[in-house]
Structure 1
């Protein structure tokens, strides 16, 4: 009995002593972190800054632990609440004015809120809600930048005639409208312009001297002056086909004071030409190698650095347009439209429209492009690579928000709600970049939401002047700084509490105690490191990418689960931390191979996860089986005994492809897909389903539906319908009548034929009998005398 009690006690003692080691053995991504700042950069981790945070037997406990374990609540020693460092995101609104129109003395407000402060921890996304509405009667500045080479002479004359009409149309949109005018030709050097003295004075008959860019008329309310200035402007000439438009655009954008751009106005820069453009590098042809500096160089309205600096690049134009919130409209002729459409895709807030040969449609073009710009909003930001911003909105649909930063179809006063999901993905190496000024702005509008963003990459107790920071601390033997409960020793000392001196010998037994997690083992540093002054120095691996770490060298980054030969499914999915895979946002699973989302399991257009007929496992639906049968399909939407999506898609297919069915006109826009017409609609895989219906004309139409990679419906419709043959009533009647007549005529012919045949047979028989008859030549056997004898019964012979 005594032996049994002794055995139980020994077992209990061993269990109690092994508990901290067991905790370490069940590795998590937190316990290998050696500083508070490193700890809070890891999701779900928190730090204990409590001094002397050890077990009763003196064994050290990892200060960084998973948040779920609450820093020691499952350990023999509990970290006191005041010492727990577990910062979270903090949000504070600094300016939040209501959305308003421009009134006298006050500017319009089109985005709300206007300024906020946000403290953000790594991988903890914060949803920021903001609103946008186009203000009524918002100021508009329109600067018309025109190519005045000889080929644009008729365009200039037409623009001078339409100047007042252009102003009138724009004033119908906003009463606060200003108009300006500038012109350009090209750099006055060979080979762009002929430098022969006579040609420099008059490059073509009736032409003015060539020039680079001229700000003819700054933005003004005087629209009559605009027409006169355009009319008075003289055309010039150059040698090559491309023009120096990029020089002019750059100066018109960056010379804010000379052009007179207003801070709070929608800025439109209309660029009109019938030719291509020179860009960065072309200046070398004329011996100009100095890059364009993107600064204003106007004196008396003339561009002074035309022959000094090269043309700007497309990226420079895009950068300056973004910085100055300019909407650039390329009004170009039909032959140049494809080039400028591609250019508009590279410049933020730019559009391209077709200009008639004489610019007669310029008023309609500007009005049309302005309507496109004002009815469209696109949110952008200046976030660095360390911050990820994702936008969501339902725009005007009123449905569930989808990932988008664009909305169109807006009207004046229409309020659009956006959600900006802000997430810090890494900490900059320079601590000065831990505080950033992030701007979220509508493209082409000089208003923005300013976000004072602080990335939580370090703990306050690691900074001088805060609690937990103590220089020459007693806890560190007076030769180190206590930071968040951990000693940062001076250059001549090391060890957990700076107990080791570089010049002193140390007690081997005392040093080895600090290299074992507890007294139940004699193995130092898990045989993966050397014990130096009570601390483990882990051995280096032959592969420099493989690292052994941890207070007792218990952790590594190379013995985690792998998938297809890739550790933690590859660096895009997760990293190996202390023997376990630490998945990046968006991935989960022991080997980080599963997507941590249910979005791929939600049917297009919304609905239940896996259509309510399955479970979303690893981003894929695993369908269930019930009394109706087994569900299948990408979203468990298919069932052999269920109608499927055929009926749901039928009306949209009829409306969009055959212009028939119950949906008419604008109702087609409510369809969530655009069908693809094919010659023959047949399923290409098991996930696609074939649907057939008969329409009101008794014609059979066929389509196949499936789903794309992003879950959107893909519908292929057979171009031709299978219709029953059309009966030709008139043809049938005429055919029947014709058949009757034909039959009658045939019968008559047969009767006639038989009659003639019969007559011929009788005549032949007669002739035969006549030839066979024998009589005297003087007698006719059939002859009878023509004598008649009559008797009178009353005659008595007297």
Structure 2
């Protein structure tokens, strides 16, 4: 909890110092650069009715501000406030009223009345802001209907994209038709790219330079095949006629093409007042800054347009390196370009991450032959137009925060609203804050733009930072160089002297001729020690003496020879200085406690009543010391004491071991003592038998095992005469007896039973095996027997013939 107290003191000190910020300011510019402060530029001395000098800088909310204003006079008070003026605030374009609204319709309806489209309101404002005093203004956005759209299709025409080109040429008219449903003011263009025509990107073998692959054209970096036009048939024909080419490595030179397609505004025919879509289609990765070194190209990309006289081919492909991702992002932001990466599934993850790094870009997935290109472009366009995101070009120290309800009911901090439809109106609140004044006064005036991502319209803020006072500028009233009021050694401005080098003091009265200094003033007389701050950091050294700062709070005082003493920087308890006026008061940064209280913050009772152990009336049981009427227990070699009165020591050995032998012999007639030794050695106490040994307050429970592994328990304590009292649990807690013979016989029987079971199983298995083998033998023997009764060509080995002429005699 100690760190919480330290943190509280730091916070209180910080708040106290913050309230002193105004009175510490010694010039008008420093004063008005501090929030909520005002300056008195009254000439001469600025004092109260008692002749006491008043601080010229004070908080507007100070309790003495009204008397201060009266003493200064309204004409001499410098209290600039935030200023806001609307310069241009044209109404938003109504539905159906748009540039080109007088056209005949269709894709060719790009011309018209030329009336400017207004989608953000207001358009220009003027602001004067003080430091850290934020100003909020309303910004309204509404997307106009039939807003002009320029779509430039930039396609990878390496050999692998040949089938995609065929699909795009067939779908060109459909793409124009679908976009026409969204806006009638639509233009379409086409460009292609391969890679830098140097090794190792492209083969430089002469034959390969003419035809790197079958039915391929010569490779090139970027070609502007068709500038933006309203002729959909021309788009389809250009895509159809565009030949494919080839290169060696997997990545393509798409970044070169993107850069030229964005920055070559006239060659592409980008319109100023149009939503610009650059659709980038490929099935491969991309080269970026640094890859050009592989081909011996070390000159960085300059981000400029380099097209030939016909505006068709990129001329610096082999002269400059590829652009970096940050360069692409920069030009896309500058020219309000919406990039749509239409890539195959294999490259989807790469270009998804790339789209997160480029403002106003998105990524969609093409099918194998780009047959879904129309739906992809239409879907990505709808995603772009259904979201409005406000961004700005403000740089430190100017910061702008955005808040909006979007389509919800509660306001939240956001610069993005999604799920919008054409005609939906969104209100934003922009909070502009100047954190501090720049060191260079030329930066006190800035022009800041707030713009919807992807659109050329913006809200321009002419910002002036209120960082100085008019009376500090030469030529203004109240500015006098070498003024008599400053003893001719300084400039009188805004009622105070700004002393020349070598002089100081309220009227520059201290200088090289004063006995206490020689120009480089010796300020040791204003330091309590060599390592101390001048006037303890709470005052100013004037002619060798400390002038202590005044406090905003009337009851807070800084005094002492070195301003070292205060009545508000003492220790606090529960947020109260010195625990409150009933406990003590703050005297020179230390608490002076009243009778009955002690401690650094007078938060401790000056008593020992709560430290006495009621059992023995000892203070903290002689095992600690009493602090703030509470025991702070000690720790020794035996262990650490605890408890309200330090009466307990869980880790100490205590009397358990010394009492063990006597308890055993007196109650259980066991242990190390014989009956005679028990009578002779155990005279300190007589153990009392109890059904159960339960520890009570002030007692300690002991537990041991005897030689039979039986556990016995006893508790001991002390009576009012500090005589030991021992209560012993009369029953022993012994483990159940084991039948060793039974266990042994059981184990032997189990082993025999298992053996017999295994023999039986072996006999059964072998019998089954033998029967199976015999059956197999019988079967084979039966199959091998020759059945003569069924063999038609069988003849006996002997033949018998009967002689008809034989009569049977001899």
* Shared fold per TM-score greater than 0.5: yes
Give the 3-state SS of the residue equivalent to 1:275 in structure 2: coil
Q: Please say if residues 31 and 550 of structure 1, whose CA atoms lie closer than 8 Å, have aligned partners that are also in contact.
A: no
Name the counterpart of 1:628.
Answer: none
Does 2:103 correspond to 1:93?
no
1:560 Cα deviation (Å)?
A: 10
Name the counterpart of 2:246.
Answer: 237
CA distance in 2 between counterparts of 1:59 and 1:551 reads: 18
Does 2:398 correspond to 1:387?
yes
CA distance in 1 between counterparts of 2:262 and 2:366 reads: 22
Name the counterpart of 2:643.
Answer: none
1:460 Cα deviation (Å)?
A: 2.1
TM-score w.r.t. length of structure 1: 0.61
Name the counterpart of 1:796.
Answer: none
Q: Please say if residues 71 and 84 of structure 1, whose CA atoms lie closer than 8 Å, have aligned partners that are also in contact.
A: no
Does 2:40 correspond to 1:48?
yes
Name the counterpart of 2:257.
Answer: 248
Give the 3-state SS of the residue equivalent to 1:488 in structure 2: strand
**1:26/1:205 CA distance change after superposition, 3 Å:** closer
Task: Write out per-residue CA displacement over residues 622-649 of structure 1, whole angstroms, 9 at most, x where no aligned residue.
Answer: xxxxxxxxxxxxxxxxxxxxxxxxxxxx
Give the 3-state SS of the residue equivalent to 1:78 in structure 2: helix
1:415 Cα deviation (Å)?
A: 0.8
Name the counterpart of 2:199.
Answer: 190
Does 2:320 correspond to 1:328?
no
CA distance in 2 between counterparts of 1:47 and 1:343 reads: 53
Name the counterpart of 1:290.
Answer: 299
1:134 Cα deviation (Å)?
A: 0.6
1:47 Cα deviation (Å)?
A: 1.3
Q: Please say if residues 72 and 79 of structure 1, whose CA atoms lie closer than 8 Å, have aligned partners that are also in contact.
A: no
Does 2:363 correspond to 1:352?
yes
Q: Please say if residues 194 and 246 of structure 2, whose CA atoms lie closer than 8 Å, have aligned partners that are also in contact.
A: yes
Does 2:225 correspond to 1:216?
yes
Task: Write out per-residue CA displacement over residues 642-690 of structure 1, whole angstroms, 9 at most, x where no aligned residue.
Answer: xxxxxxxxxxxxxxxxxxxxxxxxxxxxxxxxxxxxxxxxxxxxxxxxx
**1:297/1:74 CA distance change after superposition, 3 Å:** same
Matches within 5 A, 1:146-157: 146-157=155-166
**1:377/1:83 CA distance change after superposition, 3 Å:** same
Runs of at least 5 residues in structure 2 that lack an aligned partner in the other structure: 1-15, 100-112, 527-533, 549-557, 574-588, 590-810
Counterpart among 443, 447, 469 of residue 459 in structure 1: 469
Name the counterpart of 2:62.
Answer: 69
Task: Write out per-residue CA displacement over residues 548-600 of structure 1, whole angstroms, 9 at most, x where no aligned residue.
Answer: 999986799x979999xxxxxxxxxxxxxxx9xxxxxxxxxxxxxxxxxxxxx
**1:102/1:78 CA distance change after superposition, 3 Å:** same
CA distance in 2 between counterparts of 1:27 and 1:444 reads: 46
Counterpart among 434, 443, 452 of residue 433 in structure 1: 443
Does 2:115 correspond to 1:111?
no
Give the 3-state SS of the residue equivalent to 1:253 in structure 2: helix
Give the 3-state SS of the residue equivalent to 1:389 in structure 2: strand
CA distance in 1 between counterparts of 2:86 and 2:370 reads: 49
Aligned residue pair count: 519
Larger Rg: 2
Matches within 5 A, 1:736-751: none
1:133 Cα deviation (Å)?
A: 0.5
1:475 Cα deviation (Å)?
A: 2.2
Q: Please say if residues 343 and 364 of structure 2, whose CA atoms lie closer than 8 Å, have aligned partners that are also in contact.
A: yes
Counterpart among 415, 419, 425 of residue 405 in structure 1: 415
Give the 3-state SS of the residue equivalent to 1:68 in structure 2: coil
Q: Please say if residues 504 and 542 of structure 2, whose CA atoms lie closer than 8 Å, have aligned partners that are also in contact.
A: no
Name the counterpart of 1:734.
Answer: none
CA distance in 1 between counterparts of 2:85 and 2:451 reads: 19
Counterpart among 173, 190, 193 of residue 182 in structure 2: 173
1:315 Cα deviation (Å)?
A: 1.3
Give the 3-state SS of the residue equivalent to 1:127 in structure 2: strand
1:139 Cα deviation (Å)?
A: 0.4
Q: Please say if residues 48 and 71 of structure 2, whose CA atoms lie closer than 8 Å, have aligned partners that are also in contact.
A: no
CA distance in 2 between counterparts of 1:249 and 1:553 reads: 68
Name the counterpart of 1:258.
Answer: 267
1:35 Cα deviation (Å)?
A: 1.6
**1:307/1:75 CA distance change after superposition, 3 Å:** same
Counterpart among 485, 488, 500 of residue 498 in structure 2: 488
1:321 Cα deviation (Å)?
A: 0.7
Q: Please say if residues 487 and 498 of structure 1, whose CA atoms lie closer than 8 Å, have aligned partners that are also in contact.
A: yes
1:526 Cα deviation (Å)?
A: 6.5
Give the 3-state SS of the residue equivalent to 1:261 in structure 2: coil
Counterpart among 416, 428, 434 of residue 418 in structure 1: 428
Matches within 5 A, 1:603-618: none
Task: Write out per-residue CA displacement over residues 129-159 of structure 1, whole angstroms, 9 at most, x where no aligned residue.
Answer: 0110110111000011000111111111211
Does 2:20 correspond to 1:28?
yes
Give the 3-state SS of the residue equivalent to 1:91 in structure 2: strand
Task: Write out per-residue CA displacement over residues 482-519 of structure 1, whole angstroms, 9 at most, x where no aligned residue.
Answer: 222121233354332222342455799xx99xx99xxx
**1:164/1:451 CA distance change after superposition, 3 Å:** same
1:534 Cα deviation (Å)?
A: 6.3
**1:125/1:406 CA distance change after superposition, 3 Å:** same
1:209 Cα deviation (Å)?
A: 1.1
User: Which is further off, 59-68 or 247-256?
Assistant: 59-68
Matches within 5 A, 1:473-484: 473-484=483-494
Runs of at least 5 residues in structure 1 that lack an aligned partner in the other structure: 1-23, 517-523, 539-547, 564-578, 580-798
CA distance in 2 between counterparts of 1:138 and 1:121 reads: 39
Task: Write out per-residue CA displacement over residues 53-103 of structure 1, whole angstroms, 9 at most, x where no aligned residue.
Answer: 235676543221111127754569822221111211100000000001414
**1:77/1:162 CA distance change after superposition, 3 Å:** closer
Give the 3-state SS of the residue equivalent to 1:168 in structure 2: helix
**1:292/1:554 CA distance change after superposition, 3 Å:** farther
Q: Please say if residues 63 and 71 of structure 1, whose CA atoms lie closer than 8 Å, have aligned partners that are also in contact.
A: no
CA distance in 1 between counterparts of 2:72 and 2:476 reads: 19
1:471 Cα deviation (Å)?
A: 2.4
1:468 Cα deviation (Å)?
A: 2.6
CA distance in 2 between counterparts of 1:77 and 1:534 reads: 33
1:203 Cα deviation (Å)?
A: 1.1
1:339 Cα deviation (Å)?
A: 1.0
Q: Please say if residues 187 and 211 of structure 1, whose CA atoms lie closer than 8 Å, have aligned partners that are also in contact.
A: yes
Q: Please say if residues 71 and 79 of structure 1, whose CA atoms lie closer than 8 Å, have aligned partners that are also in contact.
A: no
**1:551/1:26 CA distance change after superposition, 3 Å:** farther
Does 2:324 correspond to 1:313?
yes
Give the 3-state SS of the residue equivalent to 2:71 in structure 1: coil
**1:497/1:486 CA distance change after superposition, 3 Å:** same
CA distance in 1 between counterparts of 2:142 and 2:559 reads: 54
1:464 Cα deviation (Å)?
A: 2.3
Q: Please say if residues 40 and 47 of structure 1, whose CA atoms lie closer than 8 Å, have aligned partners that are also in contact.
A: yes
Name the counterpart of 1:752.
Answer: none
1:472 Cα deviation (Å)?
A: 2.8
Q: Please say if residues 461 and 483 of structure 1, whose CA atoms lie closer than 8 Å, have aligned partners that are also in contact.
A: yes
CA distance in 1 between counterparts of 2:341 and 2:559 reads: 60
1:354 Cα deviation (Å)?
A: 0.9
